Chains A and B, each alone.
Chain A
Amino acid sequence: MKLKKLLLFMMLSALLVIAVACGSGDDSNDTGTDSTGGSDSENGEEATSGEAEGQLVLSGSSAIQPLMAAGAEEFMGLNAGADIQVQAGGSGQGLSQVADGSVDIGNSDVFAEEKEEIPADELVDHRVAVVGMGPAAHPGVGVEDVTSEQLIDIFTGEVTNWSELGGEDVDITLVNRPDSSGTRATFVNYALDGAEPAEGITEDSSNTVKQIISETEGAIGYLAFSYYNDDTVLPLKLDGVEQTDENVTTGEYPVWAYMHSYTNGEPEGLAKTFLDYMMSEDVQQVIVPELGYIPSTDMQVERDAEGNQTDVQ
């Protein structure tokens, strides 16, 4: 008997190996249908009533993952029947997985329209938070304020020493994020006006970027505001505007991005209840700022996928 089970197991695992190896991105096991139950109420109040149940799978940008994980934990505490899994893996992965239906919600720090191969018109955008980011330098560079032109010169390699900007006589070391990173895209679009950064050290994680900037004399990189929690890096003022949450919400400081949660079509059931909960006062005013993000409900300006900024009506 045991042997037969073992054999069966081996055959199954062989099948699994083949299936995994031969499968491609388009086989969709639709976990979306699992999300049954949950109240269909419009406001977040009902969501906290403990009725929501079912299973929800989220994946995508590691920049939003802490917020989603915290929100999911709170939500599951309030709704014992709900099971929400939050996976990281990158914006590209989140978008492609929500588009092919293998997860319920795909988190991204770029607009779906900006990624090719994503059917952006099928996805529904939920902007759960905003994150501000900006140039951060080693505290010893002797410069605290740069103009947009100066920043472009620094990152394109036109200027190679801080003394050219009135700072100390140390060479500039650039710390970049990878080509396809959302933070890099946002910084290039809104801080460098689309100019391609020159070659430098490239690191994937913001923590490593921060560590390198703090340890390397003359280093400059870009970080989300949530990493400015000590004095090891110096956030530079951009055209005299300080990198603060308030300046982002008023539209004075231009370098920020939405944290998007995409659903495939209008959300239903638990997905809807959960997203409503994420937009509720509780989450927006407590959890979101606590984790270093900016509540999207506070924004006085909004931006579309083409990057046009307008005042919120």
Chain B
Amino acid sequence: MVMAAQQQTVHDRLLKKNNRNAEKIERKGKIIVYGCATIIILATISITLFLMTKGLQAFVVNGVNPISFLTGLDWNPTRSEANGGPVYGALPFIFGSFAVTILSALVAAPLGVGAAIYMIEIAPSWGKRILQPVIELLVGIPSVVYGFIGLSVIVPFVRQYVGGQGFGLLAGTIVLSVMILPTVTSIATDALRTLPNGLRESSLALGATRWQTIRRVLLPAAWPMLLTAIVLGMARAFGEALAVQMVIGNARTIAESLTDPTGTLTTIITLNMGHTVQGSVDNNVLWSLGLILLVMSYIFIIIIRFLSSRRSF
């Protein structure tokens, strides 16, 4: 009898009496989730619109020629009228951003994917136990610390053993590769971990060695996800400002060699933003550089979307 009564109450509580209440909670939950999603979407849209209006002002209001802005080699916003007036050619920085991004991806991609293969396929238990925390630690280090290490360790090292002034593409590449390594590694690890075990087992059952399995079966299967990992790393490298600014030298010319100082879109923005006056040409062209960065991050996202839609398992 007592049992029956208890069962009744449990049943009531879960299903009947509070049914309306449960509906209410569900509705509330829905509102919260939808609200959050709306805020995020609105924020993205407003940031895009804001950057569009600010970034296009240099061309629309100040009459800077967009073609010469994108292809010009001279950046000199403070040149006096006597010397020919200010010129805004952002190509050195666009080139610098791409150069340092692609170079660091070239370094970080094999290292990151290699580390992921090691963690998942070769030494799954203790390899992961050591590597995982190390990589998590790398994510947690703030970029100013990377920049400072770059400035006081890597720059003198490059100057002494490679040549040049130390500041330049090479130092920037080294710092950025370490910074994007964790991004590449952790996504590559996920990619390999989510591969169905059947793939490994059938490959081994057919007589393939472990190396053959990794090389011919697992890597091709995970390829789109691995590419996604690399592109995400590149997106991070493209947008990084502080650490790069401290080691790349921030010259306004295109680097002719790895040891030449050069600048990137982000470093020129952070160097000059505070000194310029809101609404002036000098300020508006910096926003235009920001717009280029935004467009690039959209392109990176489109590439990632495209790659992940090609997942083959």
| Given A14-B42, A96-B278, 19 other A-B residues pairs in contact with their CB atoms under 8 A | A3-B31, A13-B39, A14-B38, A21-B49, A22-B49, A88-B274, A92-B278, A95-B277, A96-B279, A117-B278, A181-B275, A185-B78, A196-B83, A199-B253, A201-B249, A201-B261, A202-B261, A204-B270, A215-B156
A25 CB contacts on chain B under 8 angstroms: 278-279
List 28 contacting pairs A-B, 8 Å CB cutoff, sorted by A.
A3-B31, A7-B32, A10-B32, A10-B39, A17-B46, A21-B49, A22-B49, A25-B278, A62-B274, A92-B276, A115-B280, A117-B278, A117-B279, A178-B272, A179-B272, A180-B78, A180-B272, A181-B275, A199-B251, A199-B252, A200-B249, A202-B261, A202-B263, A204-B271, A211-B152, A215-B156, A216-B159, A216-B165
B274, chain A: closest CB distance, angstroms: 2
Task: Verify A178–B275 contact, CB threshold 8 A.
Answer: yes
B251 CB contacts on chain A under 8 angstroms: 199-202
Known contacts A178-B271, A178-B272; decide if A17 and B42 are in contact (CB<8 Å): yes
A95 CB contacts on chain B under 8 angstroms: 277
B98, chain A: closest CB distance, angstroms: 20
A111, chain B: closest CB distance, angstroms: 13
Q: Is B110 an interface residue (CB 8 A)?
A: no
B66, chain A: closest CB distance, angstroms: 21
With CB as the reference atom, state the residue of chain A lying closest to B279.
Answer: A117
CA distance A100 to B251 in the complex (A): 33
Q: Is B282 an interface residue (CB 8 A)?
A: yes
What's the interface size class on B, roughly?
A: 35 or more
Task: Verify A116–B42 contact, CB threshold 8 A.
Answer: no
Q: Which 3 A-B pairs have the closest CB atoms?
A: A90-B274, A21-B46, A180-B275
Q: Is B273 an interface residue (CB 8 A)?
A: yes
Task: Verify A18–B277 contact, CB threshold 8 A.
Answer: no
Quick one: which of B156, B251, B274 has the most chain A CB within 10 A? Answer: B274
Quick one: which of B35, B46, B151, B276 has the most chain A CB within 10 A? Answer: B276
A173, chain B: closest CB distance, angstroms: 5
CA distance A212 to B156 in the complex (A): 10
Task: Verify A202–B156 contact, CB threshold 8 A.
Answer: no
Task: Verify B272–A96 contact, CB threshold 8 A.
Answer: no
A185 CB contacts on chain B under 8 angstroms: 78
CA distance A133 to B154 in the complex (A): 30
Q: Which of A1-59 contact B (CB under 8 A)?
A: 3, 6-7, 10-11, 13-14, 17-18, 20-22, 25
Quick one: which of B49, B166, B261, B278 has the most chain A CB within 10 A? Answer: B278
Task: Verify B250–A201 contact, CB threshold 8 A.
Answer: yes
Known contacts A21-B49, A199-B251, A201-B167; decide if A117 and B277 are in contact (CB<8 Å): yes
Q: Is A93 an interface residue (CB 8 A)?
A: yes
Known contacts A182-B275, A201-B165; decide if A116 and B35 are in contact (CB<8 Å): no
Q: Is A167 an interface residue (CB 8 A)?
A: no
Contact of B275 among A92, A194, A203 (CB under 8 A): A92
Q: Is B36 an interface residue (CB 8 A)?
A: yes
CA distance A185 to B282 in the complex (A): 14
Task: Verify A93–B274 contact, CB threshold 8 A.
Answer: yes
A90 CB contacts on chain B under 8 angstroms: 273-276
B76 CB contacts on chain A under 8 angstroms: 179, 196
Task: Verify A96–B83 contact, CB threshold 8 A.
Answer: no
Task: Verify B46–A22 contact, CB threshold 8 A.
Answer: yes
A22, chain B: closest CB distance, angstroms: 6
Residue-wise, chain A 253-277 has the 8 Å CB interface mask toward B (1 for contact) of 0000000000000000000000000
Q: Is B77 an interface residue (CB 8 A)?
A: yes
CA distance A21 to B46 in the complex (A): 6
A116 CB contacts on chain B under 8 angstroms: 277, 280-282
Q: Which of A204-231 contact B (CB under 8 A)?
A: 204, 208, 211-212, 215-216
CA distance A13 to B43 in the complex (A): 10
B277 CB contacts on chain A under 8 angstroms: 92-93, 95-96, 115-118
Known contacts A91-B275, A96-B277, A117-B277; decide if A208 and B246 are in contact (CB<8 Å): yes
Q: Is B21 an interface residue (CB 8 A)?
A: no
CA distance A22 to B250 in the complex (A): 31
Q: Is A66 an interface residue (CB 8 A)?
A: no
CA distance A115 to B156 in the complex (A): 37
Q: Which of A185-203 contact B (CB under 8 A)?
A: 185, 194, 196, 199-203
Q: Is B245 an interface residue (CB 8 A)?
A: yes
Q: Is A89 an interface residue (CB 8 A)?
A: yes
Quick one: which of A7, A96, A118, A201 has the most chain B CB within 10 A? Answer: A201
A118 CB contacts on chain B under 8 angstroms: 277
Q: Is B28 an interface residue (CB 8 A)?
A: yes
With CB as the reference atom, state the residue of chain A lying closest to B43.
Answer: A17
A200 CB contacts on chain B under 8 angstroms: 249, 251, 261
B275 CB contacts on chain A under 8 angstroms: 90-92, 178, 180-182
B298 CB contacts on chain A under 8 angstroms: none
CA distance A200 to B260 in the complex (A): 10
Q: Is B306 an interface residue (CB 8 A)?
A: no
B31, chain A: closest CB distance, angstroms: 7
B70, chain A: closest CB distance, angstroms: 19
CA distance A11 to B39 in the complex (A): 8
A50, chain B: closest CB distance, angstroms: 35
Quick one: which of B32, B246, B277, B280 has the most chain A CB within 10 A? Answer: B277
Q: Is B283 an interface residue (CB 8 A)?
A: yes
Task: Verify A196–B279 contact, CB threshold 8 A.
Answer: no
A203 CB contacts on chain B under 8 angstroms: 245-246, 250
